[in-house]
Each structure stands twice: as C-alpha cells, then as structure tokens.
Amino acid sequence: MDKYTNGQNIAAAAEKNIRTDFKESMTYGEYLHLDKLLDAQDGVSGHHDESLFIIIHQVSELWMKLILHELQAAIRNIDEDDLQPAFKQMARVSKIQTQIIQAWDVLATMTPAEYMEFRGDLGNASGFQSYQYRLIEFALGYKTKHVLKIYEKDAALSETLNEAFQKPGLYDAAIQKLARSGFKIDEAVLNRDITMVYEPNESVKAAWKTVYRDVDTHWELYQLAEKLVDIEDSLQQWRFRHMKTVERIIGFKQGTGGSSGVHYLKKVLDQYFFPELWELRSDI
C-alpha cells in the first residue's frame, strides 16, 4: 500500500463519525434557512452585475442587524451599570463595522458603464431608505423626524421606527452613567427631549475631561469613552467609503431615492454623535 492510499485510509478512519443521514434531523442548510437566503437575490434587470449590487447590500443589512442587536444590549447593560459586557458588545460593533467598510471595495469593482446598464431599473429604491441604518442612527442618538415619512407605507415598520425614535440612545446612556458616577451634569441634558439631535454641553465635556485626566480613578468610564470613539470613528470611515464609492460609480448624479447623492453623503460626514469626546482632544 502506497503512502497516499494509507493516508486516505487513516483520514477516513479518523472521520468515521461524520453524520451523513439527515432524514430525521436538522441540516446546516435548514438551520440557516439557506433556501430562503440564497433565493433572495432576484434582480429586476437580468444584468450580470446586479447580483453583485444586491448581495453587497443584503450582506450589509445582515451586519447592520447584528450591530443593532449589540447596540441595544450595550445600552441595557450601561443602564444597569454592568459595563464589562457592554464593552464586549461595543467592541463587537466596531469589528462588524470593518466588514461593512471593506464591502465597498468589492462594490467598487463595478464600473460606471456597468451600473448605468441597470440603474434605471431600480426606480426610486435607494440605500437612503435603509430602515436599519436609520435605527442605528437612532441608537447612536442622531434623530431627524422627517425621515420617518419614508416608512409610512409599511405600518408595522413605521411603528418600529417611531418606537426607536422615542428611546434614549447609546450616548444618552453614557451621559446618565456619568451622572450616576458622581459627575455634575446639567439637568437640561439629563432631562432633554431625546427625539431631538443631541447638542454639545459644557458639563458633559467637563466630565469627560476629568475622566481622561485621571484614567486610573475612572478606568471604566475611560474605557466606555474610547469604545464610543471607536464606534463613531468606524462609522465615519464607512460613510467616507460609501461617499467615494458612489462618486467613483455615478459621479455627482442625483441618487435614485431623490437625494443629492455625493453632495448629501459629504454633508453627513460633518455629523457627530459624541461631540464632546472629539472636542476634548484639543484640550487635554
């Protein structure tokens, strides 16, 4: 018996317990509902590159679902003063964000000429309408009421978004944690209307500055601050790659959903979720 045949026999013996009969038990494909998942790429144009376009956006939506799952858990844990699990959840969000950022590199392999061959078939469907992206913005504290109108077509979805719009975000939870830790935070911030876009506040900035100037005393709050910065940094990188990919493929054309396209995407780069954590870097 040669070495190759002997090696095959050894390998087969080592894997003798591999299951092959699934008539009465659940398979990998059934557990993941792969029949539904892999049958959900029906395009509208028949163009070769539409599969790329659909899959990139579907994968991003799946990652966003997980981001929301982790953010919501992190908010709950911060509210309960259980910061260590929140740190793990926030760190996971940052890792997920790297996957979404890199997805733009794959989409950027599609040229303007290729996209123009099926772009018109998309009608007014646009990534601008991604409700999970809006939920992420809400969870991070950035809320603009006018976007809710986009989702009125679906009553259940509209209700979900309105509920999320009314809930405190991640930064609200962090600021409340500062107050519970003994920092003097303005009552106007602690009792603010959480449906409004957050505005920077000097008492919040002063609290974070104290944390950064005495890390040993405020180690957990320092970790919390840096996890927040990680998330915002990654989100801004995602936004930048989004903007440059759109510019690379369609230039400065209007978006299919009616937005100004690249002009709009450049404007949102100026939005901050946790402004004091960026401002204090010039002061310490």
Annotated ligand binding at 53? The verdict is yes
Annotated ligand binding at 249? The verdict is no
Annotated ligand binding at 284? The verdict is no
Residue 241 has pLDDT above 70, yes or no: yes
Domains for the chain: give ranges and CATH numbers: 45-282 (1.20.58.480)
Mean pLDDT computed over 35-41: 95
Annotated ligand binding at 96? The verdict is no
Annotated ligand binding at 10? The verdict is no
Task: Give the side-chain half-sphere CA count within 13 A for 250.
Answer: 19
Mean pLDDT computed over 13-28: 83
**Residue 239: band (very low, low, confident or very high) from pLDDT cuts 50, 70, 90:** very high
Question: Residue 197: CB partners within 8 Å, gap ≥ 6?
Answer: 141, 142, 143, 144
User: What pLDDT does residue 263 have?
Assistant: 87
DSSP annotation string for the chain? --HHHHHHHHHHHHTTT-----TTS--HHHHTTHHHHTT----SS--TTHHHHHHHHHHHHHHHHHHHHHHHHHHHHHHTT-HHHHHHHHHHHHHHHHHHHHHHHHHTTS-HHHHHTTGGGGTT--GGG-HHHHHHHHHTT---GGGGGGGTTSHHHHHHHHHHHTS--HHHHHHHHHHHTT----HHHHT--TTSPP---HHHHHHHHHHHH-TTTTHHHHHHHHHHHHHHHHHHHHHHHHHHHHHHHHTTPPPTTSS-THHHHHHHTT--SSHHHHHGGGT-
Tell me whether residue 35 is exposed, middle or buried, using C-beta atoms within 10 angstroms of its C-beta: 0 to 12, 13 to 18, 19 or more.
exposed
Mean pLDDT computed over 22-30: 91
Cα distances (angstroms) measured from residue 108 to each of 53, 121, 133: 10, 20, 20
pLDDT in tens, 64-80: 999 999 999 999 999 99
Residue 7 has pLDDT above 60, yes or no: no
Annotated ligand binding at 133? The verdict is no
Annotated ligand binding at 242? The verdict is yes
Annotated ligand binding at 213? The verdict is no
Annotated ligand binding at 240? The verdict is no
From the list 211, 192, 185, the residue with the least C-alpha distance to 277 is 211
Q: What is the pTM of this model?
A: 0.90
Q: What is the mean pLDDT of the chain?
A: 92
pLDDT in tens, 162-209: 999 999 999 999 999 999 999 999 999 999 999 999 999 999 999 999
